[in-house]
Amino acid sequence: MIQRLWFLLLILCAACTSMPQKATTSDWVLTWEDDFTTDGTPDPAKWSFSGRRSPDWACYCADNPATTFVKDGQLYLRGIRNEDPADTAKYQTACIQTKDKFAFKYGKVEVRAKLSKGKGSWPAIWLMPQEAKYGGWPNSGEIDIMEHLNYDSIVYQTLHSHYIDNLQQKANPVNFATAPFKEGEFNTYVLEWYPDRLDFFINGQKTFSYPKIENADSSQWPFDEEFYIILDQALGGSWVGSIKDEDLPVQMVVDWVRVYQTNDQKQAKL
């Protein structure tokens, strides 16, 4: 009887050690950060203007110190009425990224940010692939750590891929969640990215997890390549709706951005 009990215990221990383990606080090593300590334009060694393009979030992007600046240890990203006569767009918005400057695969991203509200306001904290090796959007994936709309008291956390957007597999597994946040205050938005899942948090509380399904290929799990960070304060578009000029300017204020990895995750890049 005793021998059988010992045998069962050994099997259980082996099963536990073979399961994917969540990294503990002591496992995370700071890999990259920006505390926005220097007033003026964001550090050009870390950030660049993401460019004005046709997608709704990018259609008013402007490389303009009126929309994007660092002051007193914080980054300001604004959506404003355009006052530049050389620019025909009605609005200008902040859009910066770490593409070609910093990208990573697996780890933890933390962004401490405060949001304002307004009709047409659409701030976001998100990740896109450095090299779209599985093809154009959405095939190579998109990870939305935080998006906020209008006057909402919730934020969205969402994944995009070929499996989700083209094959319409949005329930197996569920690809997004909404969660409350502290309105008018700084909140910490977090993604923990592992080879088998993506875990989302707000202020230390887990809000959502998206798993890699069994026998998944790149259509469901394109999240095995390096991604870069985007911060933007967009205005308008088909999802958020019309813009109310009286609510402008709107802004997202970012206190800091930090990326951590475990030693094993750092090795995964090699």
In the residue annotation, 226 being an active-site residue is answered as no
pLDDT mean over 248-265: 94
Q: Which residues of 225-251 are buried (b: 16+ CB within 10 A; e: fewer)?
A: bebbbbbbbbbbbeebeebeeebbbbb
Q: Are 251 and 233 in contact (CB under 8 A)?
A: yes
pLDDT of residue 263: 78
Query: Does the structure show a pLDDT above 90 at 26?
Result: no
The number of CA neighbours under 13 Å toward the Cβ of 17 is 5
In angstroms, the Cα distances linking 207 to 177, 181, 186, 241 are: 7, 11, 17, 26
* Token pair in block for residue 96: 């910066």
In the residue annotation, 147 being an active-site residue is answered as yes
Q: Are 93 and 250 in contact (CB under 8 A)?
A: no
Query: Does the structure show a pLDDT above 60 at 17?
Result: no
The closest of 256, 259, 229 to 37, measured between CA atoms, is 256
* Residue of 33, 110, 131, 142 with catalytic role: 142
pLDDT of residue 19: 42
pLDDT of residue 207: 97
Condensed to tens digits (0 to 9), the pLDDT of residues 89-138 reads 999 999 999 999 999 999 999 999 999 999 999 999 999 999 999 999 99
pLDDT of residue 268: 59
Query: Does the structure show a pLDDT above 80 at 266?
Result: no
Q: Round the average pLDDT of the chain to a whole number and report it.
A: 92
DSSP-derived 3-state class of residue 162: helix
Q: What is the reported pTM?
A: 0.90
Query: Does the structure show a pLDDT above 80 at 33?
Result: yes
* Residue of 147, 183, 214, 225 with catalytic role: 147
